[in-house]
C-alpha cells in the first residue's frame, strides 16, 4: 500500500467513527418493534441533514472498503499491478454508485 | 529449510488483527446487498416494505445480529489501530482488544433483544 492509500484509509476510518456510532444509534432506535418503509422514508425523505450524513458515509465507506479489499487481495491472493488497481477501483466505484443510489432512493420524494 | 513460523498466531493481538480484517471483509461483502435493499425504495414504499417483511424472519434477525457484532467489532478494532498509530505505545492492548470483542457482543445481544 502506498502512502496516499494508507492516509486515505486512516482518514476515512476517522471520519466514519462518529458516523458508525450514529448509525448504530439509529439502528437501535429504528428497529424497536420492527421496521416499515413508511417509518424509514418519513425520516429521510427531503432531509438535507440525512442526505449529507449518508452521502458522506457512503463515500467514506466506498473508499475505505476499496482500499481494504485491495490490501487483502494483495496479501492473501498475491494480486499485483493493474489487476489490483482494477479491483480497487471497480469495487470502490460499485459501492459508491450503489450507495449513492440508495441514498437517493430514501431521500428523494 | 522452512523459515516460516506460525507461532505468532497464538498472540491475542494477532487474533485481534485477524478479527479486524475478517470483519472488514464481511462488511465489504454485505454493503452492496445493503445498498441494493435500500435502493428498492426508488420504486416507492411497496417494494421496500415487501423486503422488510422478509427481514422479520428469525434467521434474518440472527444474521442482522451478527452484522451488528461485525460492525461494532470493526469500529472498535479500527479505533484501536488509530490509537496505536497516532499515540505513544501503551501497555494493555490485549485487554483493550478483548474489551472490544466483549463490547461488540453486548451491542449485538442488545440489538437482538430490542429487535426480536
In a domain, residue B2? The reply is no
Over residues B76-99, the pLDDT tens digits come to 999 999 999 998 888 888 899 999
Residue B29 has pLDDT above 60, yes or no: yes
| Alpha helix (H) residue ranges in A1-109 | 3-30, 37-44, 48-77, 81-107
Sign of the torsion angle spanned by Cα atoms B30, A103, B37, B104: positive
| Mean pLDDT across B17-32 | 98
In a domain, residue B4? The reply is no
Of A46, A47, A86, A81, the C-alpha closest to A66 is: A86
Residue B3 has a pLDDT of 59
In a domain, residue B6? The reply is no
| Mean pLDDT across B63-67 | 96
Residue B2 has a pLDDT of 55
Q: How many domains does chain A have?
A: 1
Residues of B with CB under 8 A from a CB of A: 21, 24-25, 27-28, 31-32, 34-42, 45-46, 48-49, 52, 55-56, 68, 71-72, 75, 78-79, 81-82, 85, 107, 110-111, 114-115
Distance of CA A30 to CAs A33, A40, A62, B114, Å?
8, 8, 24, 10
Residue A55 sits in a domain whose CATH number is: 1.20.1300.10
- What residues of A are in contact with residue B110 (Cβ under 8 Å)? 28
Whether the CB of A92 is below 8 Å from some CB of chain B: the reply is no
Q: How many domains does chain B have?
A: 1
The average confidence (pLDDT) of chain B is: 91
Residue B88 has a pLDDT of 87
Supply the range of the domain harboring residue A86.
3-107
Distance of CA B111 to CAs A34, A99, B13, Å?
12, 24, 27
Distance of CA A76 to CAs A81, B17, B70, Å?
15, 14, 21
Supply the range of the domain harboring residue B44.
11-115
ipTM associated with this complex? 0.94
Nearest to A65 among B31, B46, B115 (CB): B31
Over residues A66-105, the pLDDT tens digits come to 999 999 999 999 999 999 999 999 999 999 999 999 999 9
In a domain, residue B51? The reply is yes
pLDDT-based confidence at residue B11 (cuts at 50, 70, 90) = confident
Over residues A6-64, the pLDDT tens digits come to 999 999 999 999 999 999 999 999 887 778 999 999 999 999 999 999 999 999 999 99
Judge contact between A64 and A16, C-beta under 8 A.
Answer: yes
Residue B68 sits in a domain whose CATH number is: 1.20.1300.10
The residue with greater pLDDT, B13 or A16, is: A16
The answer to whether the Cβ–Cβ distance between A99 and B85 falls below 8 Å is no
Give the percent of chain B with pLDDT over 70.
97
Amino acid at each position: 500500500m502506498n502512502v496516499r492509500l494508507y492516509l486515505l484509509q486512516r482518514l476515512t476510518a476517522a471520519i466514519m467513527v462518529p458516523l458508525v456510532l450514529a448509525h448504530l444509534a439509529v439502528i437501535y432506535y429504528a428497529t424497536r418493534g420492527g421496521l416499515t418503509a413508511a417509518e424509514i422514508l418519513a425520516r429521510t425523505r427531503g432531509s438535507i441533514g440525512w442526505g449529507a450524513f449518508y452521502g458522506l458515509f457512503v463515500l467514506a465507506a466506498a473508499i475505505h472498503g476499496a482500499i481494504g479489499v485491495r490490501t487483502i487481495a494483495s496479501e492473501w491472493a498475491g494480486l499485483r499491478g493493474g489487476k489490483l488497481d482494477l479491483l480497487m477501483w471497480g469495487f470502490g466505484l460499485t459501492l459508491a454508485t450503489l450507495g449513492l443510489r440508495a441514498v437517493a432512493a430514501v431521500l428523494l420524494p | 529449510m522452512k523459515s516460516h513460523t506460525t507461532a505468532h498466531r497464538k498472540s491475542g493481538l494477532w487474533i485481534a488483527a485477524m478479527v479486524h480484517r475478517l470483519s472488514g471483509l464481511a462488511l465489504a461483502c454485505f454493503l452492496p446487498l445493503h445498498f441494493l435493499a435500500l435502493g428498492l425504495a426508488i420504486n416507492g414504499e411497496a417494494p421496500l416494505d415487501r423486503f422488510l417483511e422478509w427481514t422479520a424472519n428469525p434467521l434474518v434477525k440472527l444474521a442482522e445480529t451478527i452484522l451488528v457484532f461485525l460492525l461494532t467489532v470493526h469500529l472498535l478494532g479500527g479505533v484501536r489501530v488509530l490509537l496505536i498509530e497516532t499515540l505513544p505505545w501503551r501497555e494493555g492492548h490485549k485487554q483493550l482488544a478483548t474489551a472490544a470483542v466483549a463490547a461488540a457482543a453486548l451491542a449485538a445481544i442488545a440489538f437482538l433483544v430490542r429487535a426480536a
